[in-house]
Amino acid sequence: MPRIQSRLAMAATAALIALPAAASPPSAAPTPPMGWNSWNHFAAKVDDATVRAQADAMAANGMRDAGYRYINIDDTWEGERDAQGVIHANSKFPDMKALADYVHAKGLKLGIYSSPGPKTCAGYEGSYGHEAQDAKTYAAWGIDYLKYDLCSLGDQMKATGSLDKAQEIELTAYRKMDAALKATGRPIVYSLCQYGVAQVWRWGGSVGGNLWRTTGDITDRFSRMTQIGFGQAGLSKYAKPGNWNDPDMLEVGNGGMTPIEYRTHMSLWALLAAPLLAGNDLSKMTPDTLAILTNREVIAIDQDPAGHQGDRVHAEGPLEVWAKPLSGGAKAVGLFNLSDQPSYVEVSYAAVGFKTPVKTRDVWAAKDLGAKTSYRALVPGHGVVLLRLGA
């Protein structure tokens, strides 16, 4: 999917970083959203039947019971606007309201995609100049989540030839849709897809975002996943209930990584309190993939109600230790080995805030290890040992 890379867009957005991060209502996303998004696996091939099949699978395979709720349609659903300017879905989605009703009947929620620019990333109709109309249409359909993707708004910003005017365009665009969504009276999670340009984590909440992309697009490769995930170091103070840093969707199960690498992916996203949006075909999963996506203890780390994002504790070459504070004084700790070969990784619990021995549990092994003051593990290449320390 083409993405905005304009230098002017980056410079204009830089002026926003001093804005106070006024939080959106926590009730919209009190914990990081969990669900599925169509783009990573289906891209432009998504259609009504595909979405229904994903909803069927999520409801039946244990994902819904594990906390996954959103079925999100990404780009290419858009049709034309009628004479009154109302957006309609294209022929791939003959009745969006009926689709929403179907998804809701499964105990799930439906998400949709648009852009603050005239066109989406794939060249379909965006929401520029039609924000209130589109928000009303989404609410009437029964939409519960909006991914708002910068895309062609960058062209609008560049055309001004002025950084001040470009900044005004971007601020106005995000705030217009935020106001339009709120005016519908329907709770709709507002996801900004802005690629981390100009430290969006500092100001995403001030324009109404419940979550905001902190990175460029993920791909189903270990090198790209780790570049994005470990690149989140230092951002933990900007995440809290209702406002989440988003390092992009999960690639678990799409085939480009091994099961060990996918466990590393899932562990890192959980430590980051990242949205957990599966990007595979839920109707055709291996048992390994389903087990990774539905591991209750890993999900509990991601969804911990205190809402803290984890951060790097230590790094030495390809070996990293990350920790996330949990409710009740517990900590989740990840021991990561980014090299190709097995290696020992060690953590002193004093480094993560424990001065006395604490209960230690290996999360993926589902094994209690007793009370300890440190832990040393042989971690496979590209692998992780995920610990829960304390209560």
Q: Which residues carry out catalysis?
A: 149, 217
> Which residues are bridge partners to 388 per DSSP?
332, 361
Token readout for 95 is 């009745």
Burial 318-337 (b: 16+ CB within 10 A, else e): bbbbbbbbbeeebbbbbbbb
| Phi, psi values for residue 233, rounded to 5° | -55, 135
Q: Are 256 and 219 in contact (CB under 8 A)?
A: yes
Element housing 24 (H / E): none
Burial 338-366 (b: 16+ CB within 10 A, else e): beeeebebebebeebebeeebebbbbbee
Rounded Cα–Cα distance for residues 121 and 193 (Å): 11
Which residue's structure tokens are 């589902």?
366
Return the SS3 of 118. Answer: coil
DSSP code at position 237: G
Burial 24-49 (b: 16+ CB within 10 A, else e): beeebbebbbbbbbbbbbbeeebbbe
Rounded Cα–Cα distance for residues 388 and 377 (Å): 14
Q: Is the dihedral of CA 356, 357, 359, 364 positive or negative?
A: positive
Task: Report how far apart the first and last C-alpha atoms of the chain are (Å, whole number).
Answer: 44
